[in-house]
């Protein structure tokens, strides 16, 4: 069980980025979803890697980011590409 306000898979640096974009809790992440949260971090100018995207999705799925199936990772990449194309 994570401490209140702590999001699974998220270290201190990423947690600081998330706070900067208004994501403070698991509930905030659930409301926005992994893709939107990841895009907010990138748009804020932070150098987020795809590992952050996978960590966010893992937090939502209740697993370590490395356990996400390759198919799901591919779906996430397509969703990010589609969202970025709309900008």
**Residue 41 resides in a domain:** yes
pLDDT interval class at 6 (50, 70, 90): confident
∠ CA 79-24-78 to the nearest 5 degrees?
Answer: 5
**Total structural domains in the chain?**
1
**Residue 17 resides in a domain:** yes
User: Is residue 25 over pLDDT 70?
Assistant: yes
pLDDT tens digits for 62-74? Answer: 999 999 999 999 9
Q: Residue 63 is part of a domain; what is its CATH number?
A: 1.10.150.20
Of residues 16, 75, 2, 1, the one with CA closest to residue 47: 16
In this prediction the pTM is 0.92
Domain range for 57 is: 12-85
């Amino acid at each position: 069980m994570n401490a209140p306000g702590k999001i699974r898979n998220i270290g201190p640096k990423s947690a600081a980025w998330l706070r900067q974009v208004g994501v403070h809790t698991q509930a905030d992440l659930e409301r926005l979803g992994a893709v939107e949260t990841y895009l907010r971090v990138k748009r804020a100018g932070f150098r987020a890697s795809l590992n952050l995207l996978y960590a966010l999705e893992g937090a939502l799925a209740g697993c370590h980011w490395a356990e996400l199936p390759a198919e799901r990772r591919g779906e996430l990449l397509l969703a990010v590409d589609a969202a970025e194309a709309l900008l």
